[in-house]
Structure formats: C-alpha cells, structure tokens
Structure 1
C-alpha cells in the first residue's frame, strides 16, 4: 500500500508541522499553498490521501474537493477536510470529502484519521 499524501493549506506552519509528522511516519509528503490547477496537481502526485484546507486559495476547499471527486480517475482518493471552522462536518459533507479533521488537532488524531482513510477508504 502506498504512503503518498498531498496537503493543500495556505498556512506554511501547518504544512511544515504536518510534513514533519508524516515524514516521520514514512509518508512521502507533497504540499501546495493553493488549489489552482487542482486536477493537474493531484494527477501529478498520485496521492493515496489528500488533506484539504477549507480556506485554500483560490477557489476554496469545497470547490477543490468537488472538482477532485468529479474526476473518474481521482474520485476514489480519500480526501480529509481540515479546518478550524465550527461547522467543519457540514463543510466536509458539502465538499464531498471522505472525513474531516478539526484544527487545532493533536498528532495522534492526525495519524489516526489518515491511517483510517488509507486502510478503509473512508
């Protein structure tokens, strides 16, 4: 099973923290601070899991996730929606994400949700 993850977040600190944690767990981590050309980015990396921030420039996480899920060759990649919004669950559902992770999160929570979607697909 692959361990390649693509993280979309415009917060460089979040990208750094997540990259460090996940690389320690053996993941190949790819990051992007925007979701421009989302289909090309996801296709180019071929991730096993995607972490998607809600407030990602330019179109936002909901549109970006919906765009991924509309692509026949990308729609089965699990997307974890993550945000500090109070209504994260509603936003994740609206986006069509497989699950969600509230910010701030702890390291164990991050690892658990990623491993769960990678192993079960949801």
Structure 2
C-alpha cells in the first residue's frame, strides 16, 4: 500500500475542518488542521504535508500573507497550496496569494478529492 498522503487544512471554521477531515480520512489521507495561520512556517515545517488548503479569512495573518510566506520559503515553496474561500473572487485571491489552485466554498466531496488528485502525483 502506498504511503498516506498528508493534507494540512487551515480554516477558522471548525465545521469545515471537521467535514474535510471526515471526508479525506475516509478517502485515505492523513489530515492535520489548524484554525490559525500564525507561525505558518513553523506549523507547516512540523508536519511537511503533501498539499495545503488555505482559507482566505484567517484570524491575525490572512490566507494571502500566509500563502506568500510559504511560497517564499525555500524548503516549503514546492508544496501545492489550494486556496479556498466562499468569496466569489476566490480565483483572483488565489492569484494574488500565489496559490497553486483554488476551490470555491461551498464545495462538494468530489471537487475536494479531484483537486487533491490533480495536484498530487499518484
């Protein structure tokens, strides 16, 4: 069996975190969640995920700044960051942040799994 892929989800909405965790664990992923993007580099370094989901509205440090910080870090910049937001401008927010992709909320289970498969080589 292939090694479990690790997904790190940043969102201040615990319902979203629980839902994503439930869906993705069921699909065979290992999940870590955080409701804040403070010390983003340290948080991600401690886990080294295969892919990151970043909410736009996070307390203190917003998703754009957090994503930029990751993308300017030599060790972490190659981890795909998927921006996700209920903002209808999610595409341009993802662009500003330098994210690798985006997912609009609300999303369905299939969309969530598809975007992971798209960004993670099997």
- Residue in 2 aligned with 1:63? 65
Indicate the residue corresponding to 1:93 in structure 2. 95
Q: Which of residues 82, 95, 118 is equivalent to 1:116?
A: 118
Q: What is the rounded CA distance, in whole Å, between the counterparts of 1:40 and 1:2 in structure 2?
A: 22
Which position in structure 1 is the counterpart of 2:36? 34
Q: Is the 8 A contact 2:4 2:28 kept in 1?
A: no
CA contact (8 A) 1:85 1:102 kept: yes
Q: Structure 1: where are the runs of 5+ without partners?
A: none
Structure 1 pair 2–96 and aligned structure 2 pair: CA distance change class (3 A):
farther
**TM-score (normalised: structure 1):** 0.96
- Structure 2-normalised TM-score? 0.96
Q: Which has the higher helix share?
A: 1
Checking the alignment, whether the CA contact within 8 Å between 1:2 and 1:48 is kept in structure 2 is no
Q: How far 1:59 sits from its partner (Å)?
A: 1.1
Shift of 1:119: 1.9
Q: Following TM superposition, where does structure 1 have runs of at least 4 consecutive aligned residues deviating by more than 4 angstroms?
A: none
2:108 maps to which residue? 106
RMSD: 1.1
**How many residues of Structure 1 are paired with residues of Structure 2 in the alignment?**
120
